[in-house]
Structure 1
């Protein structure tokens, strides 16, 4: 029996190592390719480590501030993702409170109707969303990415489910002491729902940062693009096997902010996965 357990354990480890290698090796190859010369990229074939390590690709990337301003794109994405995340946290906290703590006619019907509509594919909304953005004059502005998706029903659903687990006796006790709905929300509810707000905030930031299709549609000004739309543009600037090292270097620079976010908020990501699993289960 114990031998079977050990075999299963070793097979599990082997499987995890293989899966990790499948994911890690291409990333490592991309990183090392950014330190290769174009001649080596074309002539050496697959080699995990460069023969000669160079930083010329990164120098060229940082010096190109006209056709491929990578640092400006990264800053644009940081501003957009951070602002979007802050608005998401505020909106879903207030909305979740309204759907769980406030009684009004048609509350549950409205919630489940909006939840059902949210299951439609996002591509269905692209044309009407763009028309709205164009009417508001938000094309080529950060608001084109900040505002859409702020009231995402998936996040509201998570907050609502989490908030339903908070005893309403806390609200009633606070009201007996003369607290208003606003005071109850700020002083009691918000501190208690902090874990789920962190979950939604982290995934909202990563989702906004990685969004690709929408920014490609609403941005045409090179200087105002977020990094995902900029990377698509780089395929014309550095692609077609002309400057593969610079293309890979740009991609590596683009993922640094999210890697830093993961390292500094790693425990919250783990809590987010556990919390998501608990709420769905």
Structure 2
């Protein structure tokens, strides 16, 4: 059977269809993800009447850049940012110490019933976070055994953040990929488990430690309900909770500007560290 000659090469036509389809998909998904951010930023530049108008406008007809400075001053965003950084890096420090220790124990020390403990940790990921709010609140209200009230203190933010089964699983999966021969060699040279962790395992684990650090910071930064309950004093709350607590009497456009300011750090985190996130998540997927 002879080939049919046409004016357009079928292979070239397939490449053109592929490129057009890819371009449409990229444009649609970009609009879906960037559209809300665009509306958030531009609504913060509108007048109060325009920001609550129905139907909404897609760009500010009368730009008011002063909304952002008003939001910064009226909602005391500088102090809220300091609070959030304090809580976020404190939670990060506790997670790096305790979650690394838990993951290393489950991966290399292999305690009795270690698989059962890991299974229970992973099962906790199936429980909605909202279900845990009440028991978690009662726990920090009257800490068992020592009977301390941790409300309105940084410990109410730091301690619950340590119980992060997802980060422990990520760390354990990476530690599983560390060759056992290296640990055996260190043991022959007289290194104990702690020295082996510090001198061999952790230097090899920088990619996954970076991912866990980013997750720890972003989780505290974006959390709203728990900081609102655990820190009743608005001057001690995180950025999102503090904006809500101090929003009484503040115009709608100024609140939107404040919300846009609070979204900037997390967006920058992702843009700067997106490559580290992806490489860290796949770093422990292969053995050897």
Q: Normalised by the size of structure 1, how large is the TM-score?
A: 0.86
Residue of 165, 180, 189 corresponding to 1:153: 165
1:70 is aligned to 77
The CA deviation string for residues 182-215 of structure 1, in whole angstroms up to 9 with x for no partner, is 2111010111122111112211211121112212
2:145 is aligned to none
Moved more, 210-219 or 188-197: 210-219
- Whole-angstrom CA distance in 2 between matches of 1:231 and 1:63: 12
1:110 is aligned to 117
Residue of 248, 253, 266 corresponding to 2:261: 253
Residue of 123, 129, 132 corresponding to 1:125: 132
Pairs within 5 Å for 1:224-235: 224-233=236-245
| Deviation, structure 1 residue 273 | 5.1
Secondary structure of the residue that 2:162 maps to in structure 1? coil
Q: Normalised by the size of structure 2, how large is the TM-score?
A: 0.84
Distance 1:50 1:118, change over 3 A: closer
Residue of 79, 93, 102 corresponding to 1:86: 93
Alignment partner of 1:21 is 2:31: yes
- Whole-angstrom CA distance in 2 between matches of 1:46 and 1:106: 58
Pairs within 5 Å for 1:122-201: 122-135=129-142, 136-201=148-213
Q: Which runs of 5+ in 2 are unaligned?
A: 1-9, 143-147
Larger radius of gyration between Structure 1 and Structure 2: 2
| Deviation, structure 1 residue 250 | 0.4
| Deviation, structure 1 residue 59 | 3.0
Alignment partner of 1:218 is 2:225: no
Secondary structure of the residue that 1:147 maps to in structure 2? helix
